[in-house]
Amino acid sequence: MKKLQPFGEGWKEIGQYGTFRHDFFYKFLQISPSYQLAYKKLVKGLEINSEATPKDFDLVLENFKKFGNVFDSNYIFWWNDVGYKIFERAGGTNLAFTIDTRLSKDELIKQFTELVDRIKVQHDKVEFDGVRLLNNKITAHSLHLRHYIVTAKAEFFLNKVKKEQNWTLALFCNLSKKFKNFSQEDLEQTPDSEDNKIYLNILTSKTLKEAYWIAENAARGNFPSLDKIDTGLAFDYRFLNKFYVNFYKNLFSTMRDAERNGDNYMKFIDPSKLVKGRKKKLN
């Protein structure tokens, strides 16, 4: 299987269901406050106060119509229905041309370079109405951590944790290598426990903020992007808590049905949680 362009930890293609970037695009749309508002308006038919919407909410609504409903369907179904259509295809343009062998090597290189430049200009002028996945240094692991801390707070912590206690969330999600697998009691017993808590509080706030930027940029068709963005909205942990309860309930039901029908039910499991197994299988 061919390798992807360099992106983080060298993941490979996830079979016929896209790559880890497509998977995380789907997941970050789910936690995006803007995309949730679009879902409530377009799918649930709720009245949304215009004063409670971002200034560019019309763009998010248009993107929702293109990117699809990621809340009432698992990744595999979403990919087969919508996902595979909305991403810019990777790969270049195949060229066929004749060479005048009477010309010098330098002249041939010059002509070829001019030809490629003209084609590149034409390609850049073509408008693409979907999602261009960005090539940057954001790794699969960092995407997973930023997404996981939001889902963990929604599923297990909700609003029970005060801001000054965010260090407990950092321990739960193993945000810091220094304190990996530490329990709260373990941290309390460290010599500089109060300073360590402050450090973990800062790390948690930073990670949540970055998760917010990625999610809100995804709702605007930019992924994965850490460009700073403030839409005036905040993570809706209560919405996410109810969503994940229903999501996993439906997911397990889908997996049972697939197993009964002799289908590969493992494909419905979150690909980001099967990194090691998939790497061994594909290498």
User: Given a cut of 50, is residue 281 above it in pLDDT?
Assistant: no
pLDDT of residue 272: 44
pLDDT confidence of 282, banded at 50, 70, 90? very low
Run of H or E including 222: strand 222-223
Write down the mean pLDDT value for the chain.
Answer: 80
For residues 57 and 207, what is the distance between their CA atoms, to the nearest angstrom?
A: 25
The band of 42, judged by pLDDT with boundaries at 50, 70 and 90, is very high
Residues 133-145, mean pLDDT to the nearest whole number: 91
- In this prediction, residue 2 carries a pLDDT of 35
Contact 146, 27 (CB under 8 A): no
Instruction: Evaluate whether 43 touches 3 at the Cβ level (below 8 Å).
Output: no
pLDDT at 161 over 70: no
Indicate the range of 11-15, 138-142, 192-196, 247-251 predicted with least confidence.
11-15
Q: What is the pLDDT of residue 56?
A: 96
Helix runs in 10-56, H state only: 20-31, 33-42
**Can you read off the two tokens belonging to residue 81?**
């229905």
Q: Write out the two tokens for 175.
A: 């945000």
pLDDT-based confidence at residue 267 (cuts at 50, 70, 90): low
pTM over 0.85, yes/no: no
